[in-house]
Structure 1
Amino acid sequence: MNYPASVQRFYQGKGMKSNWINSNANIAATASAMLILDCVRQFGLERKNYHPDIVNYEMMQEAMNSNLSANMGKKIDFEIFLTDAMISMANHLHYGRFNPIFNREKIESGNSIPFRAEEFLLKVAMDNQLMYAISALQPKMSQYRNLQEYLRLMTGQYTCDSYEVSEQQVRKIAINLERLRWNATDSARYLMINIPSFQLEYVDGDSTTIYRLVVGKPSSPTPLLQGLITQIETAPDWLIPQNIFINELLPQAEKDPLFFVKNHMAVYDTKGKLLLINPKTLRDIRNNPQDFRAKQSSGCDNALGNVVFRFNNRYGVYLHDTPLKQYFARKKRALSHGCIRVEFAVELARKILVADENVAALKSFDITITNGKNQRYPLSSALPIIISYQTIAVRDGLLVDYHDTYQLDSQLMAKMYPLNKSTTVLIKK
């Protein structure tokens, strides 16, 4: 089974009684469970992962036939494996099959997880609308809904109309649906960053505003994560990451001792003491780089620009403005050390403050931007931010492919489709 511990908890919740083969009175719920298994392709899943040798209509007929008491073993197999299939479907649609955080072991433990499939199934397992209840576990985000609806048409209506459909395209949609499940949000307002498209979508209900981005280079990729923006800061100081300080800035300062001064940077030791930069202190830094930190003060050449959107994450990446506006004109914009630069960042910050109904902040925000004053504006409602990796999306009803900037598709494709072969076939139901 896929989730044996979850299955056991389900039956413990039912007092160790069967659910699917009680009598013909429950056949509607059982039929609804079977029906969603017939439709797994439209969700980007594979029927082979849900016990097709045991959970099929022939076995269902035998299991529901009260006269076939001699086949009790088959009845029990069908009962238990159909439960595992439904728990699996619920987990895979909610978390994804290969969620790096909520993986199989984490889910099976039942500890510190926001959604428990066995508890959900206990509530809906007798419902003849089970199929719709399980499908409702999918992410509600428009990026996901549009892509899943397109896949539903490809694997259903289009094949019925005898259109030729690319199996490779179906699989590419499936791996992108999988990634979207890893970092889903139910919030009506959120920021969705897509690395391959170099775009940020600010979603506020039915309204979506798109901004161009610069993201991390393949050698210093922007991490995939989900977080909460808790405050917006104007004219921020930049605590320079150690790898940039040591590998890029220090060599320039060794050539020009005034480099830090010219770029409004200050260097401190671990006690917070400001260093006077000269050949001796540069040698000290080179010999013991871990004992020193550099910070760039706010100003027109500050790497963070006029505004930064603060959200805690273990990678130390920022979403921020930049003085280097010329890079937004490039088609491929994987250029940073991992942080995310957003075009028209001040406009985005203002939109967020308006939606946050932060009246006090709005009164001073434009003034602090104009004067280059450092000010922090806490949000009354934290704003979800999702950094995702979507190499295919639906735009205006059409599929759009994006360059696989970090070459991640093949890794996930190999997990979801072992021994994958790229073919163009007519998909059959």
Structure 2
Amino acid sequence: MKTFMNFAIIFFCTVCSTIVFGQNAKTNTEIAILLKDNVNLSTLHYPKSVIQFYTQNDSEYAWVHVMQKSDQPEAAMLLLEYSYRFGLSLSDYHWEAISLQKLRKLRGSPVEVNQKEKAVFDILMTDALITFINNLHFGKYNPSYNSAYIDANDINGFRSEDTLIYAKKQTDFLKAILDVQPEIKAYTDLQNYLNGLYEENDCLAPQTEIEKIVINMERLRWINTRDQAYVLVNIPSYTLEFHHKDSVSDFKVIIGKPTTRTPVLESSINYFTTAPDWKVPQSIFIKEMLPKILKNSGYLEDHHYAVYDKQGHEVEITSSKLKEIRQNPHRYSVRQSSGCDNALGAVVFRFDNSYGVYLHDTSQKQLFNKDERALSHGCIRVENAKELASLLLKYDHSEHKIPILEKAMADYQRKDFVLKQPVPIIITYLTCLIKDGKPVLYKDIYHFDDSLENKINQNK
């Protein structure tokens, strides 16, 4: 990611012209008193995190007195003022009560003057920075974690107040804070492009384009992986990317129809299986397959399906048995044996999830010629599945297994290939990506953008 050098130069040129020397930070009883006041705490976005910050800071002023690193308070304030460069809103950071001008005024006044006003300002500025850090790291509208949950919990080893304490000890204060952003390439591409627009004063960029960049940066903050290798499935672009060793391998995919959506999730591919059989989901069996079976009992044999009872025993299909199945379909299940016409194709990639979806090959390879490929019941079909399986084996240092894989796929022999190092898989929903240095917008096929866009616009 860029280090935002131009951005940092603006900060420190402004700071260097206004540094005030001569005061020392001191323990402030006003801060301790205010942090025990429920009315005051109710004005904070992350009260528990703020309390923890000042506990670690011995209830001392963090910002309103000139300290050893006297440039940091003004750099921090300017960082908040430039929050729009990260697709964030200044209104979230107490800007009605804090400002760079007020910070300078308070830092320039004698230690004993305006103690309560200084304490209130210091606390609000800390809360603003903690909020900014959490917004950068988790996003503001994260569907998994609201602000109260983030405030009360250590999530994957991350605490915003610890980041802020750490940043205050660093020579490069700004970098320590900005490093909390996602490292995933799609995010850094969007962030760098947005930052470039503002650096170049590009007023010609369409507002719709900027809005799409902002909402997709928000979505990418919901992803918690910091792994260097991962599989990224993007639903709106019908694509899969395998990121590994500073390279990206691209694949076309087929995803779920708007009525049977592919879920957004994070997991890990633990293993893949060649020549799989397919246990047909009950909803597909009852709604789609059973009418065809009742109309033509030969449908099962023609497509290599078999019916099983609750005990897992294969059922012989007779006219009386068909009548029983029609009356009590939930007592039966259907499986398709492996072969060239199996719905899962020659290989299926398994990863834990609560939706019962997986990534797999397909026998209907002609469908990849379509531009719009929202055609499945929710699972993801990938083109060139053998190439993806081979890349996973190479990444796992198991190149010697590739000939075994190729033979098993060609002969439809069932074999499991367990990865020594599971590879993260991210299924996400991005309607804007940067391609060849320019934003590319994708159709909002599940209509997810509107609600998120409305939240962000209302908060401006």
Offset, 1:154: 1.5
In structure 2, which of residues 204, 225, 236 is the aligned counterpart of residue 164 of structure 1? 204
Q: Using the alignment, how far apart are the partners of 1:419 and 1:168 within structure 2?
A: 17
2:292 aligned counterpart, secondary structure: helix
Partner of 1:414: 454
Structure 1 residues 223-238: aligned runs within 5 Å: 223-238=263-278
Q: Distance in 2 between matches of 1:140 and 1:80?
A: 30
User: Quick check: 1:280 aligned with 2:320?
Assistant: yes
Q: Encode CA deviations 1:207-230: one digit per residue, 9 max, x unaligned.
A: 111111111001111001111000
Q: Residue 91 of structure 1: CA displacement?
A: 1.1
Code of the residue aligned with 1:415 in structure 2: it is: K
Q: Secondary structure at the match of 1:373?
A: coil
| Post-superposition offset of 1:290 | 2.4
The structure 1 residue matched to 2:389, chosen from 323, 344, 349, is 349
Separation (CA, whole Å) in 2 of partners of 1:78 and 1:377: 59
**Given that residues 64 and 106 in structure 2 are in contact (C-alpha distance below 8 angstroms), is that contact kept between their aligned partners in structure 1?**
yes
Asked whether 1:89 is paired with 2:89, we answer no
Q: Deviations over 1:19-69 (max 9, x none)?
A: 223434342221221121122112111111111122211221133124274
Displacement of 1:70 after TM fit?
4.1
Structure 1 Cα separation of the partners of residues 151 and 324 of structure 2: 52
Partner residue in 1 for 2:115: 72
Q: State which drifts further: 328-337 or 257-266.
A: 257-266
Indicate the percent of aligned positions where both proteins have the same amino acid: 38
Q: Is the 8 A contact 1:327 1:333 kept in 2?
A: yes
RMSD in angstroms over aligned alpha carbons? 1.7
Q: 1: CA distance between counterparts of 2:361 and 2:162?
A: 45
One-letter amino acid matched to 1:90: I
AA aligned to 2:390 is: R
- Name the SS for the 2:114 alignment partner: helix
Show the counterpart of 2:144. 101
Q: Is 1:383 matched with 2:445?
A: no
Partner of 1:183: 223
| Aligned ranges 1:101-250 → 2 under 5 Å | 101-159=144-202, 163-250=203-290
Q: Which amino acid aligns with 1:198?
A: Y
Q: Distance in 2 between matches of 1:106 and 1:87?
A: 14
SS of structure 1 residue aligned to 2:397: coil
Partner of 1:316: 356
Size of the aligned set, in residue pairs, is: 417
**Unmatched segments (≥5 aa) in structure 2:** 1-43
Q: Which secondary structure state, in structure 1, belongs to the residue aligned with residue 45 of structure 2? A: coil
3-state secondary structure, aligned to 2:335: strand
Q: What is the TM-score of this pair, normalised by structure 2? A: 0.87
- The aligned counterpart of 1:254 is 294
Which residue does 2:432 correspond to in 1?
Answer: 392
> Which one-letter code corresponds to 1:131 in the other structure?
L
Residues 46, 148 of structure 2: 8 Å contact kept: no
Verify: 1:17 aligned to 2:56, yes or no: no
Aligned to 1:328: 368
Q: Secondary structure at the match of 2:68?
A: helix
Tell me which amino acid in the other structure corresponds to 1:129.
Answer: D
SS of residue matched to 1:261: helix
Asked whether the equivalents of residues 20 and 26 of structure 1 are also in contact (C-alpha less than 8 Å), the reply is no
| Pairwise CA distance, 1:272 | 1.2
Equivalent of 1:53 in 81, 96, 118: 96
**Match of residue 33 from structure 1:** 76
Q: Distance in 2 between matches of 1:360 and 1:267?
A: 38
Larger Rg, first or second structure (1 or 2)? 2
Q: Quickly say closer, same or farther: Cα 1:261–1:212, change in 2 above 3 A.
A: same
TM-score computed with the length of structure 1 as normaliser: 0.93
Match of 1:423 in 2: none
Measured after TM superposition, the shift of residue 341 of structure 1 is 0.6
Q: Which moved more, 1:277-286 or 1:34-43?
A: 277-286
Q: Is 2:91–2:459's contact at 8 Å kept on the other side of the alignment?
A: no
Range with bigger deviation, 359-368 or 90-99: 359-368
Shift of 1:419: 8.0
The 3 A distance-change label for structure 1 pair 293 and 253 is same
Cα distance in 2, alignment partners of residues 155 and 410 from structure 1 = 25
Letter in 2 for 1:284: E
Q: Distance in 2 between matches of 1:66 and 1:205?
A: 54
Q: Look up the equivalent residue of 2:47 and give its one-letter code.
A: P
Per-residue Cα deviation, 1:331-368 (whole angstroms, up to 9, x for no partner): 11111111111111111111111111114532411111
- Displacement after TM superposition at 1:8 (Å): 1.4
* Partner of residue 105 from structure 2, selected from 55, 62, 66: 62
More divergent stretch after superposition (184-193 vs 408-417): 184-193
Whichever residue aligns with residue 209 of structure 1, its letter is: S
Indicate conservation of the 8 Å contact 1:62/1:75, yes or no.
no
Q: Which runs of 5+ in 1 are unaligned?
A: 421-429
The CA deviation string for residues 88-126 of structure 1, in whole angstroms up to 9 with x for no partner, is 111111111111112223212215543111122222234
SS at match of 2:70: helix
Question: Which stretch has the larger CA shift, 205-214 or 354-363?
Answer: 354-363
2:13 aligned partner: none
What is the letter of the counterpart of residue 410 of structure 2?
T
Alignment partner of 2:439: what SS?
strand
Cα distance in 2, alignment partners of residues 72 and 204 from structure 1: 54
Letter paired with 1:19: A
Q: Is the 8 A contact 1:10 1:119 kept in 2?
A: yes
Q: Is the 8 A contact 1:19 1:126 kept in 2?
A: no
8 Å CA contact retained: 1:213, 1:343: yes
1:13 Cα deviation after fit: 2.3
The 1-side partners of 2:96 and 2:340 are apart by: 66
2:227 counterpart SS class: coil
Q: In the alignment, residue 200 of structure 1 is paired with which amino acid? A: L
Taking the aligned partners of 1:288 and 1:74, their CA distance within structure 2 comes to: 73
